[in-house]
Structure 1
Amino acid sequence: MKEFKYCLLGLIILFSTTAQAGTTCTQNQFKPELFINASRSALAIQKDLNRSAATVALIARVGSNLQKYGLHYSHIGFAVKNYPGRPGQWTVLHLLNECGTTNSSLYAQGLMNFFMDNLYSMDYQIMIPDTATQNKVKTMLMPDTVKQMHNSHYNMIAYPFSAKYQNSNQWILEVIAISLNPNTPHSHTAAQHYLLKTGYRPSLIHINPMEKIGASMFNKHIAFDDHPFAEQKSHNFSTVTVISIENYLKKRNVLQKIINK
């Protein structure tokens, strides 16, 4: 019975992450406290970004308690200064799963809206790449190219080296990969090949058999069929996380500054 309780707890944690890790699902009513907290976070981030003189940064948030998986930040987006049609503002570009479906879309939101979901905490992380990388990424994020690396077939636990699905953080990573190697074709296969060649290491998430069955049965946007047999057998699944993106940028020596709050 004790073992069953732990499995059930794992299922609850896994399912709860789906609502906040990169989806449009929300049962949240706009309470004054949420508005105030989101405003504070947005203003603090805006101040940090303006002080840095950056034009492109990465912002991560904490949608759910992922301590069970050894993770803190769950979802990441690009923050872009003076995005077309939004002069003088910071715009967050990120990928979200359309609630209750296997599809995703790209969203452009203000800093405050990025924190208006029912988040586990208002902790955030800012990663500021070096100037050269910022410029390359910004080119990829312009309206005529921003969708080139988007795969609308969403899977929260997508395998990083397969073009079958894509999760929110994987879109960010693939945009970075193509930006760092601009002469390569703008394709998922090319981005993933470059990531493998340059030493990207995904996070390994352990999902036991009961959690896996429950996740597949009750969540359209969780699938495991893109993962290699070895991962299916070990129940350790590779996926793109915020910390794996941070580690890759550090490995490539293209990070100028990291701010954790």
Structure 2
Amino acid sequence: MTTRLAITFLILLYHGSTYAGSTQTKHTRFDASTTALFAKDVEKYAAKNGARSFIIARRGQPKKKLPAGFQFTHTAIAVYSQIQLDSGESVKGYAIHNLYQEQTDANKSLLVTDYPVDFFWGADSLTAGIAIPTIELQTRLIAAIQSGVNKSLHNPHYSLIANPFNNAYQNCTEHTLNVINAALYQTDNMARLKANAKAYFQATPVRVSRIKLALGNWFADGVTTKDHDNIIQTASFTSIAQYLQEFGLLKSAVIFEHKKDAVPLFN
């Protein structure tokens, strides 16, 4: 294999096996009715368990291709809301507040509010991560989003493996963590949020070879290690749920699969 082909192969492997799946997409692996049914089942589960707001995750790549410690590729915050349909009718349902990687510029992100069917449209499997905070934190998350804190905390400079302990870059999980901490500490002061994250949050190490990380850093858009020191680590759905659990802020966390019973995230 030539050097150029080897580099291309490793870049594609890096993108395909690590975090791809945090973009908004119009493509789906499943028929529309199946995706809609699954999305509705997720909503019903959340509502049945008293979730006015919760942390939601999807898997945009096959699980076997994800690095150790990562079960999902995209994480966001769902809020029970009054939703205006295209017909003009208003209904109640969950609005999902996302940070998505831009499809036309992998180095940038944008904030998008969509709904469960949209959220799972690009999923590789009909599997959801659902972390329901305590009632008090749910109320604070709703207030934070209603006041636009998620917008004030948005840094559009995107990296797939953003370091959650500084604000040089962001990915979807770091942005979610920022909003959670803003709700907890009642501030959008980024310096304070990062200091508290460093003191109390345990990030997930990115166990990918340094060759792949270096190649991604040098050749691939949307990937950089410039914001990291010796340890490459980022936020994940699981590490956010663990953080909430550790400090008594988690009501429940499950992996929810199509046509299966919900399985606790922590045994």
- State if a TM-score over 0.5 links the two structures: yes
1:107 aligns with 2:118: no
Deviation at 1:99, TM superposition (A): 1.5
Structure 1: stretches of 5+ with no match in the other structure:
232-236
Identical columns (%): 20
**Aligned residue for 1:58?**
55
Closer/same/farther in 2, CA of residues 7 and 250 from structure 1, 3 Å limit: farther
Deviation at 1:147, TM superposition (A): 0.4
3-state SS of 1:156 partner: coil
1:259 aligns with 2:254: yes
2:47 alignment partner AA: N
Normalised by the length of structure 2, the TM-score is 0.82
1:75 aligns with 2:82: no
In 1, the alpha carbon distance for the partners of 2:47 and 2:255 equals: 16
Residues 153 and 164 in structure 1, CA contact (< 8 A), matched pair in contact too: yes
Partner deviation per Cα, 1:209-252 (whole Å, 9 max, x = no partner): 33123312442111111111x23xxxxx1111111111101111
Residues 241 and 253 in structure 2, CA contact (< 8 A), matched pair in contact too: no
Deviation at 1:11, TM superposition (A): 4.5
**Aligned residue for 1:187?**
189
Residues 56 and 80 in structure 1, CA contact (< 8 A), matched pair in contact too: yes
Deviation at 1:55, TM superposition (A): 0.9
3-state SS of 1:64 partner: coil
2:181 alignment partner AA: A
Structure 2: stretches of 5+ with no match in the other structure:
85-89, 257-267
Residues 34 and 116 in structure 1, CA contact (< 8 A), matched pair in contact too: no
Residues 66 and 74 in structure 1, CA contact (< 8 A), matched pair in contact too: no
Matched residues, number: 245
In 2, the alpha carbon distance for the partners of 1:218 and 1:156 equals: 14
3-state SS of 1:69 partner: coil
1:121 aligns with 2:125: yes
1:141 aligns with 2:160: no
3-state SS of 1:82 partner: strand
Deviation at 1:17, TM superposition (A): 4.9
Instruction: Report matched runs for 1:228-239 at 5 Å.
Output: 228=229, 230-231=230-231, 237-239=232-234
Normalised by the length of structure 1, the TM-score is 0.84
3-state SS of 2:128 partner: strand
In 1, the alpha carbon distance for the partners of 2:31 and 2:18 equals: 20
Q: Quick one: which of 153, 160, 166 aligns to 1:162?
A: 166
Deviation at 1:9, TM superposition (A): 7.3
Deviation at 1:12, TM superposition (A): 3.8
Please tell me the root mean square deviation across aligned C-alpha atoms, in Å: 2.5
Residues 123 and 260 in structure 1, CA contact (< 8 A), matched pair in contact too: yes
3-state SS of 1:76 partner: strand
**Aligned residue for 1:204?**
205
